[in-house]
Amino acid sequence: MRAAVRLALIVASTALPMLASAQTQAVSALPVFNFPQSSVTFQTGDTWSANGQTFRLYGVQSCIRGTIFTNAAQKRTDCGEASVAYLAALVRDAKPRCTAIAKAAATPVIFAVCAVHIGSNTLDLGTVLITQGFAFAATDATGKPTKIEYAVAESEASRSKRGLWAASDLPHPSRILMNAARAARPQ
């Protein structure tokens, strides 16, 4: 689990802060695209790669792979894998259309927001993941949510005990990342 937390900390500490800095650039070459339905690799419940390019949902934080929770069947299972499975199912069923909003210069990641069609409704993919309890609102280095709407959705999912929130031992990724960042700071 420590390796997974370290990897997640590195990704979070390098990618999200860059969105607020001059090291990000607007993406114009690929502004709107369909989420690939084949030849896609889900790295986490918020990050995927296709055609040699890595994409990440802006403002969304999935469970960290290698962290464990107890599911409804009382089986201890990988929380990150549960986030990945839910994202993959949504992509398969709802066929998102995404808009690239920024590209992190130091890491080859394109941040995107995606829309899904469920019935006659068009919904934000990040909101669906978070309200159903299979992802969380990403936070900046100070612990503030990068998208306030996602923090509100997370609060509602937590209160209603939806998805992963039903587990009493949910390994909340933002708390894990914040604790790891604090521990890594020089004293």
Strand 136-137 and strand 60-61: the pairing is: antiparallel
Category of 162 on φ-ψ map: left (φ > 0), alpha (ψ -120 to 50) or beta: beta
Q: Higher model confidence: residue 5 or residue 107?
A: 107
Cα 111 off chain centre by: 11
Beta bridge partners of 33: 98
Domain count of the chain?
A: 1
**CATH number of residue 87's parent domain:** 2.40.50.90
60-69 confidence digits (pLDDT tens): 999 999 999 9
Range of the domain at 63: 2-184
Count CA within 13 A, CB hemisphere, residue 14: 12
66-122 confidence digits (pLDDT tens): 999 999 899 999 999 999 999 999 999 999 999 999 988 777 899 999 999 989 999
Q: What is the pLDDT of residue 29?
A: 56
